[in-house]
């Protein structure tokens, strides 16, 4: 049986609301981790920071032995996962919003 368009619109609105809530939770989690790592104290351009985050995301996506998300998981770096070279290698530009 086909759904009426009104019902489909209501379902889309509900799913969009769920997406907004999920994105908010993810942003808060990543923000807390970034603050713990000291990124809140660093004066860095947003484009350079975005490039560093993209590089880190690529590294974890490509690394099949990356951390499982658990404390003490495999693939963790000895210095707690921080790197001082991430932003230094950031290409200029890439003026996108996160």
- Per the CB < 8 A criterion, the answer to whether 89 and 43 are in contact is no
pLDDT in the model for residue 63:
76
Q: How far is CA 22 from CA 9, 16, 18, 56, in A?
A: 20, 10, 6, 21
Q: Looking at the predicted structure, is the pLDDT value of residue 33 above 70?
A: yes
35-94 pLDDT, tens digit each = 999 988 999 899 999 999 999 999 999 875 545 555 544 444 444 444 444 444 444 444
């Amino acid at each position: 049986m086909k759904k009426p368009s009104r019902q489909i619109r209501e379902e889309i609105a509900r799913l969009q609301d769920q997406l907004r809530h999920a994105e908010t939770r993810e942003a808060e989690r990543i923000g807390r981790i970034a603050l713990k790592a000291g990124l809140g104290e660093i004066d860095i351009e947003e484009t350079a920071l975005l490039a560093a985050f993209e590089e880190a995301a690529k590294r974890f996506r490509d690394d099949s032995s990356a951390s499982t998300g658990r404390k003490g998981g495999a693939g963790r770096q000895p210095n707690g996962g921080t790197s001082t070279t991430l932003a230094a290698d950031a290409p200029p530009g890439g003026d996108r919003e996160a």
